[in-house]
């Protein structure tokens, strides 16, 4: 159940930039270009929860002990795969 302060007006949108399924956490880049930490326990859904790089999400942003953190994460769309051969300006990242 959502609190009154967790209305759609307070929710943010962003894109998953990293998610480590074995560790259960990752990062989202929000619309203001800030990185927000996300933990698997904050992803809506049942069973095994993980996010894919490039996936669009909506979430509530809070300030945790270590900075910005995403809560109540909702998947909006499947990830958009990056084709590095077609886009020479994109670089492959090694995490």
Q: 4-43 pLDDT, tens per residue?
A: 444 455 899 999 999 999 999 999 999 999 999 999 999 9
pTM attached to this predicted model: 0.71
Cβ contacts of 44 within 8 Å, gap of 6 or more:
72, 73, 74, 75
Per the structure, the complete domain to which residue 26 belongs is given by 10-77
Q: Is residue 92 part of a domain?
A: no
Q: Is residue 34 part of a domain?
A: yes
Q: Is residue 43 part of a domain?
A: yes
CATH number of residue 26's parent domain: 2.40.50.140
pLDDT tier for residue 1 given thresholds of 50, 70 and 90: very low
- Specify the range with the lowest mean pLDDT, choosing from 31-35, 44-48, 67-71, 91-95: 91-95
Q: Is residue 82 part of a domain?
A: no
How many domains does the chain divide into? 1
Q: Is residue 53 part of a domain?
A: yes
Q: Is residue 42 part of a domain?
A: yes
Pairing status of strand 67-77 against strand 56-64: antiparallel
């Amino acid at each position: 159940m959502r609190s009154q302060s967790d209305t759609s007006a307070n929710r943010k949108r962003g894109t998953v930039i990293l998610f480590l399924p074995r560790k259960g956490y990752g990062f989202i880049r929000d619309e203001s270009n800030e990185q927000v930490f996300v933990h698997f326990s904050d992803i809506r859904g049942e069973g095994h929860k993980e996010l894919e790089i490039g996936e669009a999400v909506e979430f509530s942003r809070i300030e945790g002990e270590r900075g910005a953190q995403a809560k109540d994460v909702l998947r909006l769309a499947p990830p958009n795969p990056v084709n590095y051969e077609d886009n020479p300006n994109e670089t492959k990242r090694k995490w």
